[in-house]
Structure 1
Amino acid sequence: MARPVGVSGSDTRQAIRKAAIQRIYRYGYEAMSLRALAADVGLRVGSLHNYIPQKQEFLGALLDEIMTALLLDFDTHMYGITDTREALLQFVRFHIEWHTARREEVFIGNMELRSLSKEQYVRVTSKRRQYERQLHAILVRGKKEGLWKIENPAITTKAILALLTGVCNWYRPDGGVTPKRLTYLYQRMVERMLQPD
């Protein structure tokens, strides 16, 4: 089945991406067959290969794309913020909002690192570390300014990220907590973690 008349290659690419994310989220990368993915978007397997020449390369590109989008969105969100406490609160807000809005992508980004080739793994995890360093820098700056007491900024960074990222595993928009309230609660939790004795 060829691409329908009036449907652009860009539209098809986006449809494939969306369908692939849903399939990997539900069944895992290893269980995703290109035949099933082609059926999801109304293509023949041969036509799908025009967009996904190799399944492994597709996964690497997808996870790399997710991390690139995260970093770009983060830079935009944090632009112009110089106050350290405000930077921490904005980091929490950004992380919660991004991870709840893109739950499936975040899940894939965390769970399917194991399925990447060595080269892909290095590329994607280097971007993850770049994001982690943003929080680490905020914490170190706040410690120097006497805003909070932190014995080990590196471990504290990892603990905060684990706390924040976990929200995408359980949060549901219809679960009785608004995104605004959820953000507020997490901001308070993080601040309490850092309060001086």
Structure 2
Amino acid sequence: MARTAGSHSDITGPRVREAALRLFARHGFAAVSMRQIAAEVGVQAGALYNYTPDKQTLLFELMRNHMVELLADMRRDSAVSAPVQLDRFVRFHISFHHARPDAVFIAYMELRNLEPDNFATIEALRRQYETVLEDILRAGVDGGLFDVGDTKVATLAVIAMLTGVTTWFRPDGRLSLGDVQDQYCQMVTRLVGAPGGSV
């Protein structure tokens, strides 16, 4: 049987994922049906199964793709000092996540809806990202540049702080994204600062 016009896999597949992303972020994974996703894309519900076996797989792939892209886009230069690496990490995290608010929302709010194997995969990817920041903090502590009692706790605190920008920042607001990055770099520097309050 011929495909419906406009339903080529290289076009409809991405549209299915984009629709699922919007709907999951707007209504929550549990409240969204495959029929709703199909309606958003403009195909019959049964046609969705040409692109994904089920809703759980859609959620998992959205979260995995987000983390894979995050890890791929991140650049780390261990040849520069820990404070410079930290500054770059802060700026990267804010800009990357600001551009993807729906993906960020799903990545944090829908973890509870992942099946155990999928959850383990996403958690492993998250730990890879967290390890990058923790390694920076540990290098700063070892070099006497940062004063951090527990680098793991500091890592989670900094990431939560940075990710929170997506919930309140507006491009037409009082501050530009660059202004926000500057202020967050200052706050994070103070958070992990060396004895005496300077890095």
* Same-fold call, TM cutoff 0.5: yes
Q: Deviations over 1:143-170 (max 9, x none)?
A: 1111121111111111111111111111
* Superposition pairs of residues 78-89 of structure 1, within 5 angstroms: 78-79=76-77, 82-89=80-87
Q: CA deviation at 1:80?
A: 6.8
Counterpart selection for 2:164 from 143, 163, 166: 166
Q: Deviations over 1:2-36 (max 9, x none)?
A: 5434x642121111111111100010001111111
Gap runs ≥5 in structure 1: none
Runs of 4+ in 1 over 3 A off after TM superposition: none
* Equivalent residues, number: 194
Q: CA deviation at 1:131?
A: 0.4
Instruction: Answer yes or no: is the 8 Å Cα contact 2:17–2:58 preserved in 1.
Output: no
Partner of 1:124: 122
Q: CA deviation at 1:126?
A: 0.7
Counterpart selection for 1:148 from 139, 146, 160: 146
Gap runs ≥5 in structure 2: none
Q: CA deviation at 1:78?
A: 2.6
Instruction: Answer yes or no: is the 8 Å Cα contact 1:81–1:87 preserved in 2.
Output: no
* Superposition pairs of residues 44-123 of structure 1, within 5 angstroms: 44-74=44-74, 77-79=75-77, 82-123=80-121
- The percentage of counterpart residues that share the same residue type is 37
Structure 2: distance between partners of 1:9 and 1:87 = 41
CA separation of 1:46 and 1:178: change in aligned 2, threshold 3 A: same
Structure 2: distance between partners of 1:122 and 1:91 = 25
Counterpart selection for 2:175 from 169, 174, 177: 177
Q: Deviations over 1:87-131 (max 9, x none)?
A: 100000110001111111011000000000000000001110110
Q: Does 1:19 align with 2:32?
A: no
Structure 2: distance between partners of 1:35 and 1:3 = 17
Compute the TM-score of the two structures, normalised by the length of structure 1. Answer: 0.93
Instruction: Answer yes or no: is the 8 Å Cα contact 1:63–1:109 preserved in 2.
Output: yes
SS of the equivalent of 2:174 reads coil
Partner of 1:191: 189
Q: Deviations over 1:28-77 (max 9, x none)?
A: 00111111111111101111111122111221122111111111111xx3
Q: CA deviation at 1:83?
A: 2.4
SS of the equivalent of 1:126 reads helix
Q: CA deviation at 1:79?
A: 4.9
CA separation of 1:11 and 1:80: change in aligned 2, threshold 3 A: farther
C-alpha RMSD of matched pairs (Å): 1.7
Of the structure 1 ranges 139-148 and 167-176, higher mean CA displacement relative to structure 2 is found in 167-176
Structure 2: distance between partners of 1:11 and 1:172 = 31
SS of the equivalent of 1:49 reads helix
Structure 2: distance between partners of 1:81 and 1:91 = 14
Structure 2: distance between partners of 1:91 and 1:29 = 30
